[in-house]
């Protein structure tokens, strides 16, 4: 695999991992109603925020060649700006030329919880098309509560190991109690270790941080590429500040109008679609570990493997054994990009022979578990943002039990696990500040919404819905597999997006690429 493409896949997968097993899919936050002022009248900076918008960023060497870093100060609570601050990490790589500089291009890989700075330094600022990097300063801000920006912390490494192994397809009352206890311990750990920041990591607050950064960078308009959850962040910005929208690319779009149950169930169906594509490819190959007859047989064999792991976890060469939960996570991780399918076939074949190391490796990558047994804060931040942005999908175990059949209809393979995973926000210590809502962003400049027809994590219909909601939205379709489309090898997609970023001209209505 091409190195830059590999880095891009890694960054995007890790940036969106938390949409699943942490249990509460990202949704809309409405702690402040989106602004709908016409483009001709950008709202003035509130008096209480003027000192923040007037601060001087002090850039320094990052320790990574070609990059500069700084710290931006924002109010911890935008409703009470005088009640304390939060420090947010920012990085940039200046435009390389040739050609006239357009401005700054902010990037966000998703999550919520993915480090935008890591994505910038490992891929965007070195792997985006040269003509884009030539004319934009490539910029990233780690959202509040994420990575370098006062990260949310919930569990120790050993505690997280235990958490990831808890059975997420409970078969009896005792296992239901164990799962609920794990969610309560996770939430309690977040409150204990990050209680001050926990109520202030909503998507709306992060969007307000982005507007402050836009101003401090000297840009009249915000130019932005967001993937997965990053599309919801970008759309939220557009709803709040339509007059300040520049060139926005929302790739792998989310639908802010859906509640948490529908979001989780839709995503369950998305992973079923991705699995069917993987299975259809696998059964054509000699030695496919899921058989060589049909996708239905492949699904049956995978479910049998999960059942076997539930009954008897297998060795991994590690102190941890491969449980059903870890095995399921490993399979899910490989659904994000078809380039991981060969690795998944090898891991499944090994697991059938009693070696769980391959699936454990995929699962560890998904959870951002380091070799020393510690974890990055992706999953902690993911839950913190999700549980703040929307009311919980389910209030209790009884509600999950009632919903399981509809989830299993969406995905016979993953449905039960996804339904129970959506229980975690029920025990969250901080009340949600958001509700489902449409985002129209009336008066905004043209916004490009990108959808992939067999995207597992952000189903294509979400892109259709967001493009329809946005008053200036244009849908660009990638007919293919995997999560997101820009930079995945489609010249059609890349040309359309590059033209928009460089010239401001969105693709033709209804444009489809493969």
Q: Is the dihedral of CA 42, 46, 50, 52 positive or negative?
A: negative
What strands, in cross-sheet order, belong to the sheet with 60-61? Answer: 60-61, 68-75, 85-93, 136-141, 103-108, 222-227, 245-251, 447-454, 473-481, 512-513
228 belongs to the catalytic site: yes
Per-residue pLDDT of 214-260, as tens digits, reads 999 999 999 999 999 999 999 999 999 999 999 999 999 999 999 99
Active site residue 483: yes
Name the active-site residue from 26, 202, 228, 411: 228
Return the structure tokens found at 293.
């007859």
Burial of 399 (C-beta count, 10 Å sphere; 0-12/13-18/19+) = middle
Q: What is the pLDDT of residue 42?
A: 67
Per-residue pLDDT of 159-198, as tens digits, reads 999 999 999 999 999 999 999 999 999 999 999 999 999 9
d(CA 120, CA 93): 9
Across the chain, what does the average pLDDT equal? 92
What's the average model confidence in pLDDT over 403-416?
98
pLDDT tens-digit series, residues 7-65: 333 334 333 333 344 333 333 333 333 333 334 456 789 999 999 999 999 999 999 99
The residue annotated as part of the active site, out of 472, 483, 490, 494, is 483
Confidence class of residue 400 from pLDDT cuts 50, 70 and 90?
Answer: very high
pLDDT in tens, 410-429: 999 999 999 999 999 999 99
Cis peptide before 98 (omega within 30 of 0): yes
Q: What is the pLDDT of residue 288?
A: 98
pLDDT computed for residue 43 by the predictor? 74
Could you confirm whether 161 is annotated as catalytic? Answer: no
Inter-residue contact 398 to 257 (CB < 8 Å)? no
Could you tell me if 74 and 45 are in contact, meaning their C-beta atoms sit under 8 angstroms apart?
A: no
Beta bridge partners of 476: 450
What is the spatial distance between Cα 326 and Cα 369, in angstroms, rounded to a whole number? 12
Query: Which of 167, 211, 364, 455 is flagged as catalytic?
Result: 455
For residue 235, the number of C-alpha atoms closer than 13 Å in the C-beta half-sphere is 38
Q: What is the pLDDT of residues 438-482, one digit of tens each?
A: 999 999 999 999 999 999 999 999 999 999 999 999 999 999 999
Query: Tens digit of pLDDT for each residue in 90-142?
Result: 999 999 999 999 999 999 999 999 999 999 999 999 999 999 999 999 999 99
């Amino acid at each position: 695999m091409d190195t830059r493409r590999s880095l891009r896949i890694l960054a995007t997968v890790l940036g969106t991992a938390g949409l699943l097993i942490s249990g509460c899919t990202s949704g809309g936050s409405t702690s402040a109603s989106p602004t709908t002022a016409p483009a001709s009248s950008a709202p003035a900076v509130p008096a209480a925020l003027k000192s923040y918008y007037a601060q001087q960023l002090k850039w320094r060497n990052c320790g990574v060649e070609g990059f500069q870093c700084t710290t931006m100060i924002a109010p911890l609570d935008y409703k009470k700006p005088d009640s304390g601050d939060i420090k947010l990490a920012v990085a940039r790589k200046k435009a390389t030329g040739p050609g006239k500089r357009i401005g700054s291009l902010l990037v966000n890989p998703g999550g919520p919880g993915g480090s935008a700075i890591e994505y910038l330094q490992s891929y965007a600022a070195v792997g985006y098309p040269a003509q884009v990097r030539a004319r934009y300063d490539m910029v990233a801000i780690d959202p509040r509560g994420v990575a370098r920006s006062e990260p949310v912390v919930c569990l120790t490494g050993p505690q997280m190991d235990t958490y990831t192994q808890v059975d997420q397809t409970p078969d009896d009352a005792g296992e239901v109690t164990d799962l609920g206890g794990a969610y309560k311990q996770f939430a309690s750990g977040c409150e204990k270790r990050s209680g001050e920041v926990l109520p202030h990591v909503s998507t709306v607050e992060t969007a307000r941080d982005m507007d402050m950064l836009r101003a401090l960078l000297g840009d009249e308009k915000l130019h932005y590429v967001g993937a997965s959850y990053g599309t919801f962040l970008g759309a939220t910005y557009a709803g709040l500040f339509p007059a300040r929208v520049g060139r926005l690319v929302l790739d792998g779009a989310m639908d802010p109008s859906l509640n948490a149950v529908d979001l989780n169930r839709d995503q369950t169906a998305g992973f079923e679609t991705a699995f069917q594509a993987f299975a259809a490819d696998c059964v054509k190959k000699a030695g496919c570990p899921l058989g060589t007859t049909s996708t239905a047989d492949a699904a049956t064999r995978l479910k049998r493997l999960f059942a076997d792991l539930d009954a008897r976890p297998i060795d991994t060469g590690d102190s941890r054994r491969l449980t059903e939960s870890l095995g399921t996570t490993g399979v899910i991780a490989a659904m994000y990009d078809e380039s991981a399918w060969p690795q998944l076939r090898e891991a499944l074949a090994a697991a059938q022979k009693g070696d769980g190391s391959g699936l454990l490796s995929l699962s560890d990558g998904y959870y951002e578990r380091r070799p020393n047994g510690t974890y990055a804060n992706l999953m902690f931040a993911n839950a913190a943002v999700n549980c703040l942005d929307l009311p919980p999908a389910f209030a209790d175990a009884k509600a999950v039990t009632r919903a399981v059949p509809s989830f299993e209809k969406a995905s016979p393979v993953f449905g039960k696990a996804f339904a129970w995973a959506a229980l975690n926000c029920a025990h969250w210590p901080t009340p949600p500040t958001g509700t489902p809502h449409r985002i129209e962003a009336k008066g905004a400049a043209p916004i490009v919404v990108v959808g992939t027809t067999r995207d597992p994590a952000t189903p294509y219909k979400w892109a259709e819905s967001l493009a329809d909601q946005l008053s200036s939205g244009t849908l660009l379709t990638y007919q293919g597999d995997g999560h997101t489309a820009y930079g995945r090898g489609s010249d059609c997609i890349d040309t359309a997006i590059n033209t928009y970023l460089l010239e401001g001209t969105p693709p033709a209505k209804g444009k489809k690429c493969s």
